[in-house]
Amino acid sequence: MKLKVKQILLFGLLLRMNVSYATPIDELPRLVTEEKRIKIPHYRNALNPSIAYWSGNLLLSFREHNGEESYIGLVKLDDNFNPIGTPQLLETRFNDPQVPSRAEDARLIVVGDKLYAFFNDDRTPSGCGPRTMHVGEITSDGEHFYIKPEPFFKYDFVRGEGRVEKNWSPFQHLGELCCIYNTEPFRVLQILLGTNSTVTMSTDHRRIDWEWADSNGLRGGTPAILINDDEYLTFFHSNTWLGEIRQFFMGALIFSAHYPFLPKKISKIPLIGDNFYRWPIYVAKWGWGPSRVVYPGGLLMRGEDIYIVYGLDNHEVWVAKVNKNTLSLHMEDITWKKD
């Protein structure tokens, strides 16, 4: 006999109250100082955003999911993160239009004067194939946006058969397009545009020890930005099961801006805002059951403030503000797991 949703939520809450964290979640300092929901016109259940300044515009990408198909959308924002103009869904099915769109969770990155989007997709007719990563340059005629994505299928390392590819965190290094492919091992790739391939720049097989991550460790999040001459900053996510509830956390990671790009510091605690973990829990009509999802996908800097856009509970788009100096006070040297 299946538990009713209310019973599941109560069971999860009781388990959450008994999870053995050094500091209970509800007592952690709130590093997020402001939060705002971004409501996308005509797409009330938009989720999992990214953000970038490009060609004089502040652009927000989002995922539109109707249960059968999934699309990457774009909309312009004003400086207060309010949508302006009409949102647009990108066409990613130029070569196989008969296959339904299943594009998900874009990350926007600007290299030079070009804007790129990384996203994952399943292009098999059945929709049961492994997800693969794609990158494409986004162009505009002043009214509409266009993308012609390239798939990645050539790697210079051994991958697991049928591996799901997602959550790559792009960044630019000396004018080249790169990404964090994995956090465990911490693998950095250079993207060889036009060749459908990548090349490994560095790999660190140590595993980062972070209290709020399960055995799968840290997962990709926002693109990384250069915060000084020696360091990049990115925000990742982790998750763990609390009974029947899947709980997500967001953290900050600093890694070296020089080869071999080793991770250096991590936030001592998750970044939490007042609206992150609300009750009742939203249960999506697709995907997982009850979940408390915080899914960072983009960031930008304004003076001493960092703005992070994230998906909340698989059906909302939000932006959070964190002070750079306050965050630095809550960063610590990385502790590595002992084998």
User: What does the pLDDT look like over 108-126, one tens digit per residue?
Assistant: 999 999 999 999 998 887 7
CATH number at residue 64: 2.115.10.20
- How many domains does the structure of the chain reveal? 1
- List the single range of 153-157, 172-176, 178-182, 254-258 with lowest mean pLDDT: 153-157
Does 329 map to a domain? Answer: yes
Note down the domain range covering 315.
Answer: 5-333
Closest CA to 275 of 17, 28, 36, 21: 36
Give the type of residue at 325: N
> Which residues have a Cβ under 8 Å from the Cβ of 263 and sit 6 or more positions away?
183, 186, 204, 208, 253, 254, 255, 256, 334
Phi, psi torsion values for 27, nearest 5 degrees: -105, 0
> What local confidence, expressed as pLDDT, does residue 8 receive?
39
Q: What is the pLDDT of residues 236-278, one digit of tens each?
A: 999 888 777 888 999 999 999 999 999 999 999 999 999 998 7
Give the residue carrying structure tokens 């890694």: 255
> What local confidence, expressed as pLDDT, does residue 284 receive?
64
> What local confidence, expressed as pLDDT, does residue 122 receive?
86
Pinpoint the alpha helices (H) of 32-151. Answer: none
Does 339 map to a domain? Answer: no
Does 36 map to a domain? Answer: yes
Does 169 map to a domain? Answer: yes
Does 120 map to a domain? Answer: yes
Does 338 map to a domain? Answer: no
Does 232 map to a domain? Answer: yes
Does 129 map to a domain? Answer: yes
